Amino acid sequence: MEYIQTVLVQIAADKAAEASRPEGLLAELDEHRDYLRQQPGFQDMRVTRSINPEGNVLLVVETRWEDGDSLVSYETREPTVMSIVDGYGDLTVPNTLQVLDMEALRSETTRGPAAMAAEASERLAVPLLVPAGILAFMLLVIYGLSRIYLEVSNDVATPLAAGIAAGILVVAWFITTNRNLQPWHIGSVIVLAAALLGGGTLYALVNEDDAAAGPEPGGATPTAVASPTPSGTPGGGGTVFEVKMVPTLKFDVTEMTLPANTEVTVRADNQDGGVLHNWAAYNDDTAAQEIAITDICSAPCVKEVTFTTPAPGDYFFRCDLHPAQMIGTLKVQ
């Protein structure tokens, strides 16, 4: 609890300027503040006066103390505010000096530093957390939608994007036209959107990881099957080996076997709806030295490359546009 001593006195109108002189009453009260700072339990001192341009000036001196004992101890010995003001009897109006001791029921000081710090934190939380939350949600939307769109085919991505855009418009219309909107309505929309985006992103990432990981160890590895070159097919490279790009971001095989030192044709059949792909063979997974590369095309499309296979050994093939997800081993025997 905080205790307050208030000293009130009226200064004669014609003496107000004299009280404000460097050696006057107000200056001595300012010096007394330094003395008060050394007293146990002292909190603060405030000196105010009325701004009435005519008539006597009301001077109010207020000192604040942590407890009643500190105030009583101060009042029982001089100098005090009352004794200082009483010493300027020639400036003050007779019988106007009053001293009031009061107990503060609630004030900034009585709440204590911890309570004021907690209130300050609450006031700062909203201005800081709201922009941060909006930024985090926007990043989730951008990242989540990009991963989902990459993982689905064009046949699905286009209507999905249209549906999401329509949903955003409907939600915006609902929020702007509903006068009785409650905070939990907006919160529910945000939570639902975050859950859907988070779930879709997780699904896309899991599928992407599965595609990059390839087949399970010890499992059967599908291989390309050789077939005779059809009459009139470009290239004329003896034997045609076909590899397919299938939804989503995958080859239909992860291992191809070709004869060594032989002219062959690899036909890359892109069936991954609307996605750009190619087939490229290299000496190893650094892709520093190429063996053969087809042109890039957008599904549905077919591209061929005819080349002479290298010496027997294990080589590497991939899609140059998706080198993390679409890879395989090229065995030359």
**Residue ranges covered by each domain of the chain:** 2-104, 125-213, 226-332
Residue type, 273: G
Residue 206 banded pLDDT, cuts 50, 70, 90:
confident
Q: What is the CATH number of domain 226-332?
A: 2.60.40.420
Q: How many CB atoms lie within 10 A of CB 188?
A: 11
The string of pLDDT tens digits covering residues 228-284 is 333 334 444 568 999 999 988 999 999 999 999 999 999 999 999 889 999 999 999
Residue 30 banded pLDDT, cuts 50, 70, 90:
very high
Counting residues of the chain whose pLDDT is more than 90, the rounded percentage is 50
Lowest mean pLDDT among 179-188, 201-210, 250-259, 305-314: 201-210
DSSP state of 14: G
User: What is the C-alpha to C-alpha distance for residues 291 and 294, in angstroms, rounded to an integer?
Assistant: 11
Q: What per-residue string of b and e applies to 241-256 under the rule 16 or more CB within 10 Å gives b?
A: bbbbbbbbbbbebbbb
User: What is the C-alpha to C-alpha distance for residues 297 and 278, in angstroms, rounded to an integer?
Assistant: 7
Lowest mean pLDDT among 93-102, 161-170, 242-251: 161-170
Q: Closest Cα partner for 279 from 311, 247, 314, 241?
A: 241
Average pLDDT over residues 57-70: 93
Domain topology for 2-104: Alpha-Beta Plaits (3.30.70)
The reported pLDDT for the residue numbered 235 is: 43
User: What is the C-alpha to C-alpha distance for residues 30 and 25, in angstroms, rounded to an integer?
Assistant: 9
The reported pLDDT for the residue numbered 223 is: 44
The reported pLDDT for the residue numbered 238 is: 66
Q: Is the pLDDT of residue 98 over 80?
A: yes
